[in-house]
Chain A
Amino acid sequence: MGTIRESELPGIGKKYQVETDAGDKIVIVIHDDGRREIYHFEKDDPDETISHVTLEDDEARQIASIIGGMTYKPKALDSIQVSLEELVIEWCKVEPSFKCINKTIAELEVRQRTGATILAIVEKGQQKINPGPDDQLRANMTLVMAGERKQIKQLKELLLHG
């Protein structure tokens, strides 16, 4: 997941700058009058726009639902999230901004506070299946988590806010 920067444009609206993992820079501006604008910037020159799209409020909502996968969910994603009745297995990357960084699983009280389990920790070049309570979480790790949907949600909150 790329970084999103939110800023205020007084008199115009709000601006969201997104840098995707693929290296694309996109800026979305929501005007106070409801219009949306999307800009796509050149990779090697962040001052030059390649293209821009202007959307009315209703168009923006419709397109958001298409991008959000509400109308059609790609099959490839099924392998990332396996759902067995109530049990869900999900992947989550630890971003550098997360509060859980440098804490051990025991310190975070993962089981006691959320009920979910961390099945595996995947890091660049190495992976650990069934980590113990003393394993520390570091930035850019990917965690494989199992639990009920609600528990997974709580665990994600825990990772984010510590």
Chain B
Amino acid sequence: MDHIIFEVGTALLLVAIASLIAAKLKFSIIPFLMVLGMLVGPHAPIIGIFDFTFIESQEVISFLGRIGVLFLLFYIGLEFSVSKLVKSGRNIVFGGTTYVVLNFVIGLAYGFLVKFPLYETLIIAGMLSVSSTAIVAKVLVDLRRTGNSETELILGMILFDDLFLAVFLSVMSGLLLGGATSVGGILLSVGISMGYMLLFFVIARTATPLLNKLFNIKSNEILIIVVFSLLFFIAGFSEKLHVAEAIGALLFGLALSETVHSKRIEHLVVPFRDFFGAVFFFSFGLSIDPLTLGDAAWIAIGAVLLTILANMIAGMIAGRNADLSHKASTNIGLTVMARGEFTIIVANLGIAAGLMPMLKPFSALYVLILAILGPLLAKESKLIYSGLNKIFKWSKPKEKAQSES
């Protein structure tokens, strides 16, 4: 029993080492932590007092990982302000909608093509539609692209994607977790979760002055206690209403996003998001038996190829619509291609609802490939652009670039 801290400590130490290696290689830590989790886990060797199987501590680690999901989504909610979305330009609305619709429809078609049942198909379509906010932001900063002309559009599209995630998760959790079997029952539970979400949107829009007053707490110590306790309480309460706890966290963040305290709360949350988020990726890896990956390999590779295609097309449509050059439009598709935390969260919802066990290795492989491939493709965008340019003849050689509009 008393080994528990030691076991968790060992696990965290491995997480830390993997993070350091990822940083050395200038890469997103997400794939590293997932692979690490898969490598240790139930199949790992026991060396002396070091037990790398983490069986005893698995419950604790996965609980810490669950907390990671709450913080990840709470932060997204905080960043995602409704007023920002209302103000976002026509180009962002168009680009974001194109992106989500195209990816979702392709996901649906793929699900039916590989003959998955309806719910599994819906989950797969959701997984294919949600880009990784964490990886995209990191790629933009690391590749020093924050100053580029397409950056606002990329981030706006991601914001739209997050909104889609919120709606999708709440509909799906109504569908899957409600446990209803009749059509009326299903409609009721979907209705409850949609209404629950709308309630928070309304709170974010109208109750801001009240929230400003409520959270006007000088001491950081007390603010953090108040915010975190509410975060856990609301997430847990949402679960009772059969709305995924992650959605509860997201909506609570949303409610606070318009307040004057949002920046300060964000600041307090970031270290927790980073730490528990890392444990989340690790614990997801732990839950995967590497031997099952083979079963899902072909389906995952197919989904990856479709995602690359859909993202390139959506990026091109969104970019050209916003009067950006073909080069900038190529960058959009290549940057938003990365998949990560949200895809896993969608998959976890399906797994929690007892859908096909295949979802787990599928999501692991799909995320792993795109979390690695996405940033690499974004980095080599110049090469890819010149390759595509040879096929599509977008722009003539440089001296004639002026006449091209």
The stretch of A9-17, A91-99, A116-124, A127-135 in contact with B is A9-17
**Contact, CB under 8 Å: B144 / A37:** yes
Q: Is B252 an interface residue (CB 8 A)?
A: no
Known: A12-B137, A15-B152, A47-B325. A37 touches B402 (CB 8 A): no
How many angstroms between the C-alpha atoms of A8 and B87 in the bound complex?
Answer: 11
Chain B binding surface, main DSSP class: helix
* Complex interface residues of chain B between 314 and 350 (CB less than 8 A to chain A): 325, 327-328
How many angstroms between the C-alpha atoms of A58 and B156 in the bound complex?
Answer: 30
How many angstroms between the C-alpha atoms of A46 and B149 in the bound complex?
Answer: 8
Closest to A47 in B: B327
**Contact, CB under 8 Å: B146 / A12:** yes
Q: Is A110 an interface residue (CB 8 A)?
A: no
Closest to B137 in A: A11
Q: Is B222 an interface residue (CB 8 A)?
A: no
Give the chain A neighbours of B151 by CB distance below 8 A: 9, 15
**Contact, CB under 8 Å: B79 / A10:** yes
- What's the nearest-Cβ distance from chain A to residue B92, in Å? 11
How many angstroms between the C-alpha atoms of A7 and B147 in the bound complex?
Answer: 11
Closest to B328 in A: A47
Q: Is B213 an interface residue (CB 8 A)?
A: no
- What's the nearest-Cβ distance from chain B to residue A87, in Å? 43
Q: Is A152 an interface residue (CB 8 A)?
A: no
Give the chain B neighbours of A12 by CB distance below 8 A: 137, 140-141, 146, 155
**Contact, CB under 8 Å: B133 / A49:** no
**Contact, CB under 8 Å: B401 / A9:** no
**Contact, CB under 8 Å: B146 / A7:** no
- What's the nearest-Cβ distance from chain B to residue A89, in Å? 38
How many angstroms between the C-alpha atoms of A46 and B401 in the bound complex?
Answer: 11
**Which residue of A7, A44, A49 contacts B401 across the interface (Cβ within 8 Å)?**
A44
**Contact, CB under 8 Å: A15 / B325:** no
Q: Is A52 an interface residue (CB 8 A)?
A: yes
Binding site for B on A (CB under 8 A): 7-13, 15, 27-29, 31, 37, 39, 41, 44-47, 49, 52
Binding site for A on B (CB under 8 A): 79-80, 84, 133, 137, 140-141, 144, 146-149, 151-152, 155-156, 158-159, 325, 327-328, 398, 401-402
Identify 7 residue pairs between A and B in the complex whose beta-carbon atoms are under 8 Å apart, listed by A's number: A9-B151, A9-B152, A10-B80, A10-B84, A15-B152, A47-B148, A49-B147
Closest 6 CB pairs of A and B: A39-B147, A27-B147, A29-B146, A47-B327, A11-B137, A7-B152
